[in-house]
Amino acid sequence: MEIGDLTIKDIASRVKRNEISANEVAKFYIEQIHMKDPLINAFLYVDEDGVIKRAKELDNLKNKKGLLFGVPIAIKDNMNVKGLQATAGSKILRGYIAPYDATVVQKIKDEGGIIIGKTNLDEFAMGSSTENSAFFPTRNPLNVEYVPGGSSGGSASAVSAGLSKAGLGSDTGGSVRQPAAFCGVVGMKPTYGRVSRYGLIAFGSSLDVIGPLTKTVEDSAVMLNVIAGFDAKDETTAKVEKEDFTDSLGKEIRGLKVGVIKEIADFNVQSEIMQSLKVSYSKLEQLGAEIIEVSLPHLKYALPTYYIVAPSEASANLARFDGVRYGLEGEGENIKEFYEDSRTKGFGSEVKRRILIGTFALSAGYYDAYYVKAAKVRRAIEGDFESAFSKVSSIILPTTPTTPFKFGEKKSPLDMYMSDIFTIPVSLAGLPAISVPIGKDNKGFRVGIQLIAKWFDEATLLRVAYALENY
Ligand code: GLN
């Protein structure tokens, strides 16, 4: 079997048993990157020397242990890896070298993982196609004329093309799940608070969650085992019992209640996606699950709510990039001109749009009309999910309303925002969700089907996802 076909567990156990060396694995992936990345552009930076050095160190260890021993992992470039650049896809952070490791990166290193490189993204994770990257767009490895999705398009395409065994992305409104769907891989957004955000460049702090992109549900569970857990450096992480998320894989789903959403009929969904959704319903039924209709009456308000909450938080988070504390240095006669020039030159147009929207929504006189109202609607959406989850233990929805689109196809920001109508409600509620490839469209792209579970019930989420994946 080729190295590229092995699972995370296979690679780690073979390297630990000295059946293959970490060096061989690392060289294999670097060669894949040399061959394929010039066309795909998944990576902003590949640390070749660091990768080989690290692999050799692992090979020389007497006591070889760790869930990711010798496994290459690609990291979205909005997370800190000590000594490597962290640009968040923005000119304003060009040249910035992270002085410390994000908690997730530290955990990957502690388990013997190899950070293979930093992947491309929409600037500050704002976007759904990687077209907003300040550097270059990433291409979809399944067909390079199409976008890979975003904002974690780099990590998703790297995993899909076999340039890394797994990747990390960040998901604020869909940025792990949507690119996973577009690139035909598995993408999970854990429950808000399950994974530390320490060392992640913040976008919307009440929404941001780091999650894995992998080829399989099992790999996703292993990655969650590595990155989950309370972190004193992130006050929003929850103190929950440590569990092994691979335990529930392969367990029967007979008798489990899966919710299908009544309101799906109100949305414009590509017919092949509806087809895959129906196929998924029947697969689950054949496996003994019970399909129950549930209602999320506020679903249609999720997009406008998100586009108040997320930009508001972003406008506050991005205030620190002023050319002094961080970021590209502008010019000016006085401090105001200096800030203005730094931010004008450093930020791209989508980021500026969000900062303007957020600043407006939070300003005196408009705060109640916009931000407070959005916070109330967010609560109503959460309430919809609470009542649905009193009847079912998971919910099934498409990940996206369409399969991948071409570069430049989405002309208006709103068209682009619509890509996330089914992922955003889940983010507003802070629930765990996963996108699994099921079926195909007529161009050969996979369709992403999204499963959602109760807060902190990733075990059930992965159990149902595994059953669907392996049917
Ligand atoms: N595409 C959505 C946005 O542009 C979600 C992004 C994300 O999850 N980071 O905001």
Extents of the domains making up the chain: 3-227
Q: Which residue's alpha carbon is nearest to atom 10 within ligand 1?
A: 126
Residue tagged 């059953």 (tokens): 467
Has 151 been annotated as catalytic? yes
175 lines ligand 1 (CB under 6 A): yes
Marked catalytic residue, from 90, 128, 133, 151? 151
243 CB-near residues (< 8 Å, 6+ apart) = 459
Which among 302, 92, 94, 126 has a CA at the least distance from the CA of 204? 126
Q: Which amino acid is at 216?
A: T
Tell me what pLDDT residue 418 has.
94
d(CA 62, CA 222): 24
Task: List Cβ neighbours of 296 (8 Å cut-off, separation of 6 or more).
Answer: 261, 262, 263, 381, 384, 385, 388, 425
User: What distance in angstroms lies between residue 151's CA and the mean position of ligand 1's atoms?
Assistant: 6
Give, for ligand 1, the residue of 76, 168, 172, 192 to mutate: max count of ligand atoms closer than 8 Å to Cβ. Answer: 172
Q: Compute, in degrees rounded to 10, the torsion defined by CA atoms 65, 199, 304, 347.
A: -130
Task: Provide the residue-wise pLDDT of the chain in tens; the chain has 471 residues.
Answer: 789 999 999 999 999 999 999 999 999 999 999 999 999 999 999 999 999 999 999 999 999 999 999 999 999 999 999 999 999 999 999 999 999 999 999 999 999 999 999 999 999 999 999 999 999 999 999 999 999 999 999 999 999 999 999 999 999 999 999 999 999 999 999 999 999 999 999 999 999 999 999 999 999 999 999 999 999 999 999 999 989 999 999 999 999 999 999 999 999 999 999 999 999 999 999 999 999 999 999 999 999 999 999 999 999 999 999 988 777 889 999 999 999 999 999 999 999 999 999 999 999 999 999 999 999 999 999 999 999 999 999 999 999 999 999 999 999 999 999 999 999 999 999 999 999 999 999 999 999 999 999 999 999 999 999 999 999
Residue 329: what pLDDT?
83
Pocket test for ligand 1, best of 77, 78, 122 (most atoms within 8 A of CB): 122
152 CB less than 6 Å from ligand 1?
Answer: no
130 alpha carbon, distance to own chain's centre: 13
Token duo for residue 68 = 């990711």
Virtual torsion, Cα 156, 157, 163, 169, nearest 10 deg: -20
**pLDDT reported for residue 306:** 98
Q: What is the CATH number of domain 3-227?
A: 3.90.1300.10
pLDDT of residue 82: 98
Tokens 């590949």 correspond to what residue? 46
Cα→Cα distances 255→261, 401, 455, Å: 19, 29, 20
Q: End-to-end CA distance of the chain: give it in Å, rounded.
A: 23
What stretch of H or E contains 202? none
User: Helices (DSSP H) in 91-249: which residue ranges?
Assistant: 103-110, 153-160, 177-183, 217-227
Q: Is the pTM of this model over 0.85?
A: yes
Active site residue 390: no
